[in-house]
Homo-oligomer: A and B are copies of this chain.
Amino acid sequence: MSARTFYGQALANRLLLGTAQYPSPAILADAVKQSAVDMVTVSLRRESGAQRAGQAFWQLIKELGVSVLPNTAGCHTVKEAVTTAHMAREVFGTKSIKLEVIGEDDTLQPDVFGLVEAARILTDDGFEVWPYTTQDLIVGGKLLDAGCEVLMPWGAPIGSGQGLNDVFGLRAMRAHFPDVPLVVDAGLGLPSHASQAMELGYDAVLLNTAVAKAGDPVAMAIAFADATRAGQAAHQAGPMEVRDMAEPSTPVMGKAFLL
Contacts and interface: CB of A to CB of B under 8 A. Distances in A.
Contacts of A259: 77, 79-80
A230 B234 CA distance: 14
B158 A246 contact: yes
A204 interface: no
Contact of A83 (B175, B220, B258): B258
A52 interface: no
A217 to B, nearest CB: 8
A246 B134 CA distance: 14
A172 interface: yes
Interface in A167-194: 167-169, 172, 175-176, 189-193
B226 A172 contact: no
Contact of A166 (B165, B230, B236, B237): B165
Given A138-B109, A255-B45, A220 B247 contact: no
A213 B239 CA distance: 8
Contacts of A196: 190, 192
Contact of A176 (B46, B106, B208, B223): B106
Q: How many copies does the complex hold?
A: 4
A28 interface: no
A216 interface: yes
Given A192-B192, A238-B215, A254-B45, A112 B109 contact: no
Interface of A: 18, 20-21, 43-46, 71, 73-75, 77, 79-80, 83-84, 87, 103-113, 134, 136-139, 141-142, 156-162, 165-169, 172, 175-176, 189-193, 195-196, 199, 208-210, 212-217, 219-220, 222-224, 226-227, 229-231, 233-234, 236-256, 258-259
Given A160-B247, A190-B231, A227-B231, 18 more contacts: A45-B251, A74-B250, A74-B252, A104-B138, A106-B175, A157-B245, A158-B246, A158-B247, A159-B247, A162-B243, A189-B240, A190-B239, A191-B234, A209-B247, A214-B234, A217-B237, A222-B230, A226-B229
Closest 4 CB pairs of A and B: A215-B238, A157-B246, A73-B250, A45-B254
